[in-house]
């Protein structure tokens, strides 16, 4: 069951798609961290957080997460997210791909 | 005022409308116009069955009691959905490629299609879901009661159980009608999905309507509402137990993956994997909308309704108290929708599990005739499913009756979540870790379930109902470390967090521990690879090693499960694919897999596997089979390596043979040339000897000088002949190794001087460049023979060097344990293709007229071999160059 060797470098489009998927993976973690912030708030007492502020914060973060997810999903094309783990061989390596601006993409993970 | 009759009428119209929608959707799907039915929006809306009546009504009550903690129930699933790339995408892909029918099917399929595991999962799911169904029935009866309370003209029967019974019966009818229309899970429940999508819209709109009414109708806008929330004595400030906040987010997130009804809509009813992407943001958005107005409604209810009003019913009683009957009825429909959609899907999911994993295996073994009896068993499966649906709903009703519909039921929501969360380790472990084994999954499930029963489920009935109060306070038999709310005597945790923590933790530990130390069966390993690497190969697992299976038996069985027409179509298409005439394809492994997968869509993977197994006979795949395959592959590789090596060797040999052949051909040409040459060489002196001897014999009167002259000629020619014959003899002796060496001591310079003198010829014709200082070496060798070699080389240079001023350089070098004497002239040298030939006997280069029989260098080579040295041609020196090499000991010995 050895993984088939995929291409080591992807052309720019495929590279972008991979990064979009990475962002989609990171998003829930970001959400957990941001929604874990309420754990740090003082619990009751004189300087307690008013409920309205707590609601604005939590709903704000939540809505931003949903919005970010919508943006990410809209930028995922049908082609790339189909089988991200087994990249289809895409066209020849373009010069731009190796340029440090984008950095190399390591093949099968 | 609110009229109960109006409520009943509206409800009936609504239910009739739902029936019509479901029926219309089924009709459209049958006619193939289901495209719009299967949009991502419908998929997302169907996911909203996560929001049950418990969340519709209960969230407000929850908020009124515990503040913002209710948000955790919505945040957990939102995060899991936003992180769809991690788990959901994989589960959906697996579900589609393996034709998974339920969460029990997923787990049993992953762990080697084990039916025992499927039964365990099914039982846990039933135990965990039944109270939840009871909760829905309770919410409907409570909401009806709330209406009745507002209408003094109506007196409801003393207990409202009749309502619950009617609701349960109605739901059973709907579910049976639309949930068991078809058997193949591939043809999904279009009617049901459409109905619950519609209900999702209704409940969202209802809650939003009540919320908008609360904020803008009676609250005076957003600013005032927020101010009122902050001013509330109980809810004005953020108060949260950190353990509950994070624990409940985890629990509700796990529930999204593990709840049987969620699995049904997420995976089984999923039409297109891409719908997940839409759901990844639309579902959280739905959750936000559902929870946005909960807090304002709770605060308004607390401040405006009389003390002691049930906060769970604020959504209903708030509009009622303000005299907005229409809004209240709409709100009721929302709650009714939440309850019914949840019950319908849960009943379908549970009935699939119960009929596939419990009823069918029992029926198959009880009927005793195995899988080969003829006759349609589809009716058995469908009947099993219908009975299961009714049974599940009846259990829910029974639970509602027994628990008395009190407040104890309200707490059951989270406890139900934590019950199904026990699937999480086996599920995630199964799809991400190939090392997960059946034993591990089984142990983890059982342990987690047991702890859940002890710590959460049994105490949930209240002190003294199932567990005596003494046991809860002091532990069974006075064993303090077994107290349900303080396992291992760790106190101070919230009971729910305590139960979830211990059950999931020990479940995971048992699962991983046993997985590491047990060994999976071949089937488990195959399925494990299939599940974990689902993106790499969405192909089917290798299963049956066919051959003994009878196609006709398979056909009989398939007809019973798929229906005659479908089965015949399947068999015919397979036969056509195999190129076989008629309906009966060869039962090869591919076909058996395909058939098994089709069947598993109807009866689940484990049962389908068992049924095909009965006919095919024997184990699907054994370690021996795997080893045989592996061995075969290894042998093939070995063989191909050998072939490669052999072919290399052959290539080398062929090349050597070609070289040898070329050499032989060249030699043969040379030999022919030599034979004619030698005949010529022998003939010429013979002719002159004969001619002159005849003259001497026959011609009288020859003068004395003439006689002398002729005799001289005869003598010279004889000498020439003798030399030729000597050479030939010499070579023959050398080649046979019969020569005896005469070892003497001499300086290299002296030998060279002697050779130069012996070579004869005109000394001035060849210019010599020697390296006198280096020639002082003493040699211990057969100096005569060595001199013979040198003579030959010098004579050759004299004869063949074609430069205008011929020059011979004699270079002496020592090194690498040998002495090298190079003879380099400034002539044209020897052609590359001739270089290998010059040391051969009879070899003569070109058509030079310089006489000689072509034996000189051959003799040199033989001599040098006897002296344990060598003579080679040295290419690239600007002329003909020969290197004579002698071993150094021979040179050194004389120093």
Contact B85 A62 (CB under 8 A): no
- What is the mean predicted confidence (pLDDT) over B729-740? 77
Tokens encoding B97:
């490629």
| DSSP category for residue B811 | E
Helices (H), B49-87: 53-56, 58-66, 72-82
- Domain boundary pick from B386, B421, B456: B421
Provide the ipTM.
Answer: 0.75
d(CA B361, CA B246): 41
Residue B601's CB: how many other CB atoms inside 10 A? 20
The three-state secondary structure class of B523 is: helix
d(CA A101, CA A84): 22
Nearest CB neighbour to A62, from listed B68, B284, B529: B284
Tokens encoding B5:
């009759």
Quick check: B542 pLDDT over 70? no
d(CA B85, CA B280): 9
d(CA B756, CA B295): 123
Tokens encoding B797:
């240079």
- What is the mean predicted confidence (pLDDT) over B390-413? 77
B280 to chain A, any CB pair closer than 8 A? The answer is yes
Contact B292 A24 (CB under 8 A): no
CA distance, residue B102 to nearest chain A CA (Å): 24
d(CA B498, CA B486): 8
Tell me, yes or no, whether B684 and B760 share the same domain: no
In a domain, B644, yes or no: yes
Quick check: B490 pLDDT over 50? yes
Tell me, yes or no, whether B348 and B214 share the same domain: yes
Residue appearing with tokens 């694919």: B577
CA distance, residue B76 to nearest chain A CA (Å): 9
- What is the mean predicted confidence (pLDDT) over B833-855? 67
With 0-12 / 13-18 / 19 or more C-beta atoms within 10 angstroms meaning exposed / middle / buried, residue A18 is middle
pLDDT at B408: 53
d(CA B521, CA B524): 5
Q: Which residues contact B423 (CB under 8 A, 6 or more apart)?
A: B103, B107, B121, B124, B257, B258, B445
Helices B161-179 & B4-30, crossing angle to 10 degrees?
10
In a domain, B516, yes or no: no
Contact A83 B295 (CB under 8 A): no
A41 to chain B, any CB pair closer than 8 A? The answer is yes
CATH number of the domain that B690 lies in?
1.10.287.130
Top pLDDT among B134 and B853 is at B134
Tell me, yes or no, whether B663 and B579 share the same domain: no
Count up the domains in chain B and report the number.
4
Nearest to B258 by CA among B424, B117, B104: B424
| DSSP category for residue B237 | B
Quick check: B546 pLDDT over 80? no
Tokens encoding B882:
């020969």
Tell me, yes or no, whether B673 and B635 share the same domain: yes
Between vectors from CA B172 to CA B167 and to CA B174, what angle results, nearest 5°?
A: 95
Contact B239 A81 (CB under 8 A): no
d(CA B603, CA B240): 47
Tell me, yes or no, whether B563 and B704 share the same domain: no
Strands B881-887 and B778-781: unpaired
* B535 in Cβ contact with B449 (< 8 Å): no
Helices B72-82 & A51-75, crossing angle to 10 degrees?
20
pLDDT classification of A101: cutoffs 50, 70, 90: very low
CA-based radius of gyration for chain B: 52
In a domain, B472, yes or no: no
Tell me, yes or no, whether B565 and B668 share the same domain: no
> What average pLDDT is seen over chain B?
81
pLDDT classification of B33: cutoffs 50, 70, 90: low
Nearest CB neighbour to B535, from listed A1, A51, A86: A86
Domain that holds residue B586: 540-621
A107 to chain B, any CB pair closer than 8 A? The answer is no
d(CA B686, CA B680): 10
Q: pLDDT per residue over B76-87, tens digit each? A: 999 999 998 888
Strands B767-770 and B807-815: parallel
- What is the mean predicted confidence (pLDDT) over B42-65? 87
Closest A-chain CA to B295: A55
pLDDT at B516: 92
Query: Across-strand partners of B780?
Result: B745
DSSP string, B86-149: TTHHHHHHHHHHTT--SHHHHHHHHTTS-HHHHHHHHHHHHHHHHHHHHHHHHHHHHHHHHHHH
Length of chain A: 109
- What is the mean predicted confidence (pLDDT) over A3-30? 76
Quick check: B629 pLDDT over 60? no
Tell me, yes or no, whether B56 and B165 share the same domain: yes
Tell me, yes or no, whether B146 and B275 share the same domain: yes
pLDDT at B323: 83
pLDDT at B25: 84
In a domain, B607, yes or no: yes
- What is the mean predicted confidence (pLDDT) over B35-53? 84
* B771 in Cβ contact with B810 (< 8 Å): yes
Residue appearing with tokens 């025992």: B116
With 0-12 / 13-18 / 19 or more C-beta atoms within 10 angstroms meaning exposed / middle / buried, residue B530 is buried
Handedness of CA B215, B221, B225, B228 (dihedral sign): negative
Top pLDDT among B135 and B618 is at B135
Instruction: Select from A29, A35, A63 the residue whose CB has the most chain B CBs within 10 Å, as the one to mutate to test that interface.
Output: A35
Tokens encoding B636:
């093939």
Tell me, yes or no, whether B788 and B649 share the same domain: no
pLDDT at B545: 45
Q: Which residues in chain A (74-103) have CB-CB distances under 8 A to chain B? A: 76, 78, 81, 83-86
* B289 in Cβ contact with B55 (< 8 Å): no
In a domain, B473, yes or no: no
d(CA B772, CA B775): 5
Tell me, yes or no, whether B757 and B657 share the same domain: no
In a domain, B466, yes or no: no
Query: Across-strand partners of B811?
Result: B822
Residue B194, CB-side half-sphere exposure with 13 Å CA sphere: 23
Contact A43 B240 (CB under 8 A): yes
Handedness of CA B644, B645, B646, B649 (dihedral sign): positive
Tokens encoding B719:
């000498």
Q: pLDDT per residue over B499-529, tens digit each? A: 899 999 999 999 999 999 998 887 788 788 8
CATH number of the domain that B767 lies in?
3.30.565.10
Top pLDDT among B621 and B650 is at B650
Tell me, yes or no, whether B299 and B158 share the same domain: yes
Tell me, yes or no, whether B125 and B73 share the same domain: yes
CATH number of the domain that B183 lies in?
1.20.1730.10
Instruction: Select from A42, A54, A57, A59 the residue whose CB has the most chain B CBs within 10 Å, as the one to mutate to test that interface.
Output: A54
Quick check: B685 pLDDT over 50? yes
d(CA A55, CA B295): 9
DSSP string, B420-452: HTTHHHHHHHHHH-TT--HHHHHHHHHHHHHHH
Instruction: Select from A65, A69, A86 the residue whose CB has the most chain B CBs within 10 Å, as the one to mutate to test that interface.
Output: A69
DSSP string, B251-263: HHHHHHHH-HHHH
Find chain A residues with C-beta within 8 A of B239's C-beta. Answer: 43-44, 48
Cα-Cα end-to-end distance for chain B: 138
In a domain, B842, yes or no: yes
Quick check: B642 pLDDT over 60? yes
d(CA B802, CA B893): 39
Quick check: B828 pLDDT over 70? yes
Find chain B residues with C-beta within 8 A of A69's C-beta. Answer: 82, 280-281, 284
d(CA B672, CA B839): 17
pLDDT at A69: 92
Closest A-chain CA to B284: A66
Strands B744-747 and B818-825: unpaired
Contact A27 B82 (CB under 8 A): yes
d(CA A52, CA B208): 19
In this prediction, what percent of chain A has a pLDDT beyond 70?
A: 58
* B346 in Cβ contact with B260 (< 8 Å): yes
* B248 in Cβ contact with B76 (< 8 Å): yes
* B371 in Cβ contact with B559 (< 8 Å): no
In a domain, B129, yes or no: yes
Asked which of B214-223, B431-440, B609-618 is least confident by mean pLDDT, the reply is B609-618
- What is the mean predicted confidence (pLDDT) over A35-57? 82
Tokens encoding B28:
């459209």
Question: HEC states along chain A?
Answer: CCCCCCCCCCCHHHHHHHHHHHHHHHHHHHHHHHHHHHHHCCCCCCCCCEHHHHHHHHHHHHHHHHHHHHHHHHHCCCCCCCCCCCCCCCCCCCHHHHCCCCCCCCCCC
């Amino acid at each position: 069951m050895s993984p088939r060797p995929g291409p080591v470098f992807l052309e720019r489009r495929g590279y972008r798609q991979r990064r979009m998927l990475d962002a989609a993976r990171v998003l829930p973690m970001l959400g957990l961290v941001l929604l874990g912030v309420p754990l740090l708030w003082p619990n009751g007492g004189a300087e307690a957080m008013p409920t309205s502020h707590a609601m604005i914060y939590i709903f704000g973060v939540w809505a931003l997460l949903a919005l970010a997810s919508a943006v990410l999903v809209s930028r995922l094309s049908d082609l790339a997210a189909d089988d991200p783990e087994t990249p289809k061989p895409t066209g020849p390596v373009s010069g731009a791909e190796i340029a440090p601006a984008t950095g190399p993409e390591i093949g099968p993970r | 005022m609110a009229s109960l009759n109006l409520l009943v009428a509206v409800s009936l119209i609504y239910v009739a409308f739902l029936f019509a929608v479901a029926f219309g959707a089924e009709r459209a799907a049958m006619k193939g116009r289901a495209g719009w039915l299967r949009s991502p929006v419908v998929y997302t809306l169907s996911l909203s069955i996560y929001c049950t009546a418990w969340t519709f009504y209960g969230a407000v009550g929850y908020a009124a009691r515990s503040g913002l903690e209710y948000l955790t129930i919505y945040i957990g699933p939102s995060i899991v959905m936003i992180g769809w790339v991690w788990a959901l995408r994989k589960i959906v892909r697996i579900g589609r490629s393996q034709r998974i029918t339920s969460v029990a099917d997923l787990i049993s399929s992953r762990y080697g299609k084990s039916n025992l595991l499927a039964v365990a999962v099914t039982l846990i799911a039933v135990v965990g879901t039944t109270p939840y169904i009871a909760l829905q029935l309770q919410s409907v009866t409570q909401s009806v009661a709330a209406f009745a309370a507002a209408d003094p003209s109506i007196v409801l029967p003393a207990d409202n159980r009749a309502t619950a019974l009617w609701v349960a019966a109605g739901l059973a009818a709907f579910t049976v009608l639309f949930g068991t229309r078809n058997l193949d899970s591939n043809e999904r429940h279009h009617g049901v999905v459409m109905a619950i999508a519609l209900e999702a819209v209704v409940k969202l709109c209802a809650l939003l309507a009540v919320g908008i009414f609360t904020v803008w109708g009676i609250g005076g806008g957003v600013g005032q509402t927020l101010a009122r929330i902050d001013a509330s004595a109980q809810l004005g400030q953020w108060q949260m137990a950190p353990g509950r906040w994070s624990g409940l987010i985890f629990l509700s997130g796990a529930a999204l993956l593990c709840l049987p009804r969620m699995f049904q809509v997420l995976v089984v009813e999923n039409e297109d994997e891409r719908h997940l992407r839409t759901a990844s943001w639309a579902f959280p958005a739905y959750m936000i909308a559902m929870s946005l107005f909960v807090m304002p409604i709770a605060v308004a209810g607390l401040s405006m309704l009389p003390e002691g009003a049930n906060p769970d019913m604020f959504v209903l009683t708030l509009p009622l108290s303000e005299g907005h009957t229409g809004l209240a009825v709409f709100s009721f429909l929302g709650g009714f929708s939440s309850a019914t959609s949840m019950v319908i899907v849960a009943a379908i999911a549970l009935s699939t599990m119960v009929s596939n994993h419990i009823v069918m295996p029992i029926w198959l073994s009880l009927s005793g005739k195995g899988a080969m009896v003829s006759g349609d068993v589809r009716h058995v499966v469908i009947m099993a499913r219908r009975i299961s649906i009714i049974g599940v709903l009846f259990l829910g009703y029974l639970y509602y009756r027994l628990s008395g519909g009190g407040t104890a039921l309200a707490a059951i929501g989270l406890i139900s979540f934590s019950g199904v969360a026990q699937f999480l380790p086996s599920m995630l472990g199964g799809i991400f870790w190939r090392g997960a084994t059946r034993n591990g999954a089984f142990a983890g499930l059982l342990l987690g379930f047991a702890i859940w029963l002890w710590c959460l489920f049994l105490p949930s009935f209240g002190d003294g109902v199932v567990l005596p109060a003494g046991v809860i306070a002091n532990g069974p038999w006075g064993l303090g470390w077994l107290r349900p709310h303080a396992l291992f005597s760790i106190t101070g945790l919230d009971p729910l967090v305590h139960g979830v923590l211990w059950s999931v933790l020990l479940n995971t530990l048992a699962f991983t521990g046993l997985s590491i130390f047990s060994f999976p069966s071949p089937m488990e390993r195959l399925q494990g690879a299939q599940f974990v690497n689902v993106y790499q190969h969405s192909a089917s697992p290798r299963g049956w090693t066919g051959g003994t299976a009878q196609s006709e038996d398979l056909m009989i069985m398939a007809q019973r499960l798929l229906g005659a027409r479908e089965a015949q179509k399947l068999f015919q298409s397979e036969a056509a694919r195999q190129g076989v005439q008629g309906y009966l394809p060869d039962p090869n492994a591919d076909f058996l897999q395909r058939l098994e997968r089709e069947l598993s869509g109807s009866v689940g993977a484990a049962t389908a596997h068992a049924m095909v197994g009965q006919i095919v006979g024997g184990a699907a795949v054994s370690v021996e089979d795997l080893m045989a395959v592996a061995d075969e592959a290894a042998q093939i590789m070995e063989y191909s390596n050998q072939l490669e090596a052999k072919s290399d060797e052959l290539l080398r040999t062929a090349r050597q043979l070609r070289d040898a052949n070329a050499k032989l051909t060249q030699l043969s040409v040379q030999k022919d040339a030599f034979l004619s040459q030698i005949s010529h060489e022998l003939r010429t002196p013979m002719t002159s000897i004969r001619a002159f001897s005849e003259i001497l014999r026959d011609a009288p009167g020859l003068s004395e000088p003439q006689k002398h002259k002729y005799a001289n000629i005869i003598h010279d020619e004889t000498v020439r002949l003798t030399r030729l014959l000597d050479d030939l003899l010499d070579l023959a002796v050398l080649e046979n190794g019969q020569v005896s060496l005469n070892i003497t001591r001499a300086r290299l310079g002296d030998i060279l001087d002697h050779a130069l003198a012996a070579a004869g010829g005109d000394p001035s014709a060849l210019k010599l460049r020697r390296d006198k200082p280096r020639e002082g070496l003493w040699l211990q060798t057969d100096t005569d023979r060595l001199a013979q070699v040198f003579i030959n080389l010098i004579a050759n240079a004299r004869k063949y060097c074609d430069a205008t001023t011929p020059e011979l350089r004699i270079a002496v070098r020592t090194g690498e344990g040998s002495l090298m004497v190079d003879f380099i002239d400034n002539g044209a040298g020897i052609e590359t293709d001739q270089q290998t030939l010059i040391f051969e006997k009879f070899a003569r280069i070109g058509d030079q007229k310089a006489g000689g029989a072509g034996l000189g260098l051959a003799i040199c080579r033989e001599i040098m071999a006897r002296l344990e040295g060598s003579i080679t041609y040295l290419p690239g020196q600007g002329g003909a160059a020969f290197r004579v090499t002698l071993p150094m000991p021979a040179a050194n010995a004389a120093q």
